[in-house]
């Protein structure tokens, strides 16, 4: 989930605007969490990688049978 769609319960403003300390803290926490291993890869790229991996596994399974 991205913080551009979240509304702050403290000030009722969008979190990405950072109007109050609660918004700014939530925005910073979500920004830090988004820095994982696959954070920079688009969902389409992840889907393609998954299809390739499943295809390789299917090919390997077919060869061993």
pLDDT of residue 55: 97
Task: Tell me what the mean pLDDT of segment 44-62 comes to.
Answer: 94
- The pLDDT-based confidence of 35 (bands split at 50, 70, 90) is low
Residue 4's pLDDT band, with cuts at 50, 70 and 90, is low
Q: How far is CA 2 from CA 15, 22, 23, 45, 48, in A?
A: 10, 16, 13, 18, 22
Say if residue 29 is in the same domain as residue 55: no
Pair 1, 23 in one domain: yes
Residues 27 and 44 in one domain: no
The answer for residues whose C-beta is within 8 angstroms of residue 3's C-beta and 6 or more apart is 15, 16, 26, 27, 30, 31
Range of the domain at 4: 1-34
Same domain, 30 and 46: no
What is the count of structural domains for the chain? 2
Question: Is the same domain home to 22 and 47?
Answer: no
| Whether 26 and 1 share a structural domain | yes
Mean pLDDT, residues 9-34: 85
Kindly report the pTM of this predicted structure.
0.47
Same structural domain, 1 and 30: yes
């Amino acid at each position: 989930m991205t913080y551009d769609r979240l509304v702050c319960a403290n000030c009722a403003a969008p979190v990405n605007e950072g109007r109050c300390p609660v918004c700014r803290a939530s925005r910073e926490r979500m920004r830090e969490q988004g820095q994982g291993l696959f954070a920079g890869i688009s969902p389409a790229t992840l889907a393609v990688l998954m299809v390739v991996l499943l295809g390789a596994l299917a090919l390997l399974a077919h060869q061993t049978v």
